[in-house]
Chains A and B, each alone.
Chain A
Amino acid sequence: MTRARALKSLMIAFAVFGFLCLAPGAPTSVAQSTIDVPLEDVTKEHRAKALFKILRCLVCQNQSIDDSNADLARDLRVLVRQRIAAGDSDEQAVGYIVDRYGDWVLLEPPFKRATLILWLGPLAILILAVGGIALRFRRRTVEVPVAPVPLDADESRRLAELLDDTDTKDGPG
């Protein structure tokens, strides 16, 4: 009786052991490439997370892959984690994605010749606007203090006549 029970529990133990060995084995081989699980190394996971936030989801376009539920975003998260786990620096991991999808995959466009207008355009417009306004105000202040042109002899005489004044030599003042 006890022997049969022992045998039974042994069989159960084997069954459970076998199940633990085999069952998770099958899903993890798929999981490695399709399900995003955080990295065990906390600092690496933090780095990967930071990169998720700067990478664009190409399907939803205005979301980062951190926010997006799209399939491709998940695949890219998995990929970034793999690169980081494999010892890539942040730049290398991002570079790997940029090589395949171009600068567009970065939510913040890099500063280079093709993006000069994008980065410097607003500044140029600001300078033009401020410059234009400044020019305008300077012109106006120049116009105001212009001294009146002295009257010529003819005008002075007329003025004197009108004012009925005898002191006409100095002109108005």
Chain B
Amino acid sequence: MRLGYAIPVVVFFALAVALYVGLGLKPRDIPSALIDKPVPTFDLAAVKGRDMGLKTADLNNGEVALVNVFASWCGPCRVEHPLWMDVQAAGKVPLHGINYKDDPDNAAKWLDRFGDPYTRTGADRNGRVGIDWGVYGVPETFVIDRQGRIRYKHVGVMTRDILDGRILPLVRQLQEQKQ
């Protein structure tokens, strides 16, 4: 009988702990529906002033690759941009860019001014390809495996910690896997 009176207290604390943990979760992190699925079918022309566009076949050629969704109007993209310059300079993995709903001139100017870290770029003018990729907040970054499947998605600004701690280790691991 004594124990019975403890039940509400125990329930209260369990609830309090659960809700406290819930406070720390980020509601923006929506699990992607596309993880382990092949990249969508698409074919985009290159951003103005560049000649290599981006299409499904470019991500399905037996190579592990990163795809970064960016735009000149996107502030956080500017923040993470130096990391991509580093990735490009290191040359360990090709980095491709999808330029999401951007003005061609602004996109070209942005890349000319700050540097172009992308091997291939695709200009997604109206955002339709973005929808096929499940993009809802720029920047977003995808890890694509040798078979052209999406293996990881990061939403929001890329940080050094996430890049070195999660993205690049995954890239290495996928690169070690045989075809």
B137 touches A59 (CB 8 A): yes
Stretch at the interface among B28-36, B57-65, B86-94, B112-120: B28-36
Report the interface size for chain B: residues with CB under 8 A from the other chain: 18
Closest B residue, CB atoms, query A33: B126
B126, A101: Cβ atoms closer than 8 Å = no
B137-157: which residues lie under 8 A (CB-CB) from chain A?
A: 137
B34: chain A residues at CB < 8 Å are 100
Q: Tell me whether A79 is interfacial, beta carbon within 8 Å.
A: yes
Take A33-B126, A59-B137, A72-B136 as given contacts and tell me if A104 and B131 are in contact as well, using a CB distance cutoff of 8 Å: no
With A58-B30, A71-B101 known to touch, is A101 a contact of B136 (CB < 8 Å)? yes
A100 touches B134 (CB 8 A): yes
Given A100-B33, A102-B32, A71-B127 contact (CB < 8 Å)? yes
B132, CB-defined interface residue at 8 Å: yes
Write out the residue numbers on chain B whose beta carbons fall within 8 Å of the beta carbon of A33: 126, 128
CA–CA, A79 to B129, complex, Å? Answer: 12
Q: Which of A30, A72, A102 sits near B30, CB closer than 8 Å?
A: A102
B136 touching A59, Cβ below 8 Å: yes
A61-B131 Cα distance, complex, nearest whole Å: 16
**Cα distance, A103 to B32, chains bound together (Å):** 10
Quick check: A101 and B30 within 8 Å, CB to CB?
yes
Which residues of chain B are near A100, meaning CB under 8 Å?
33-34, 40, 131-134
The CA-CA distance from A72 to B128 in the complex, in Å, is 10
CA distance A42 to B28 in the complex (A): 36
Cβ-based interface call for B27 (8 A): yes
Within 8 A of A (CB), among B6-34: 27-28, 30-34
Quick one: which of A34, A75, A102 contacts B134, CB cutoff 8 A? A102
CB contacts (< 8 Å) of B27 on chain A: these are 61
Mark each residue of chain A from 100 to 139: 1 if its CB lies under 8 Å from any CB of chain B, else 0: 1111100000000000000000000000000000000000
Beta-carbon contacts under 8 Å, A19-37 to B: 30, 33-34
B126 proximity list for chain A (CB < 8 A): 30, 33-34, 75
Cα of A100 to Cα of B137 in the assembled complex, Å: 14
Complex interface: chain A residues within 8 A of B133 (CB): 100
A59: chain B residues within 8 A (beta carbon): 136-137
Which residues of A are found within 8 Å of B137, using beta-carbon distances? 58-59
- Return chain B residues, CB-CB under 8 Å to A61: 27-28
From B28, B31, B33, name the one whose CB has the most chain A CB atoms within 10 angstroms: B33
| A34-B126, A71-B101 given; A76·B33 CB < 8 A | no
Q: Which residues of A contact B (CB under 8 A)?
A: 30, 33-34, 58-59, 61, 71-72, 75-76, 79, 98-104
Contact surface of B with A, Cβ cutoff 8 Å: 27-28, 30-34, 40, 101, 126-128, 131-134, 136-137
Q: Give 5 nearest A-B pairs by CB, closest first.
A: A102-B33, A58-B136, A33-B126, A100-B134, A104-B30
